[in-house]
Amino acid sequence: MLRIKKNMAACAFGGYDFDACTPRAVRKLTDHLPRYAAFSYQTASHTPQSPRIRLVVAFSRLVHPDASGSV
What does the DSSP 8-state code read for residue 10?
Answer: -
Given this model, what pLDDT does residue 62 score? 93
Share of the chain above pLDDT 70, in %: 92
Given this model, what pLDDT does residue 70 score? 61
What does the DSSP 8-state code read for residue 68?
Answer: G
Is 15 contained in some domain? Answer: yes
Instruction: For residues 42-48, give the mean pLDDT.
Output: 88
Q: What is the extent of the structural domain holding 29? A: 10-70
H or E, element range at 30: helix 23-32
Is 3 contained in some domain? Answer: no
- What tens digit of pLDDT does each residue of 22-43 get? 778 878 887 888 888 988 888 8
Is 1 contained in some domain? Answer: no
Overall domain count for the chain: 1
- DSSP E strands, the chain: 11-19, 38-42, 52-63
CA distance 29 to 55: 9
Given this model, what pLDDT does residue 23 score? 76
The residue that leads in pLDDT, 59 or 7, is 59
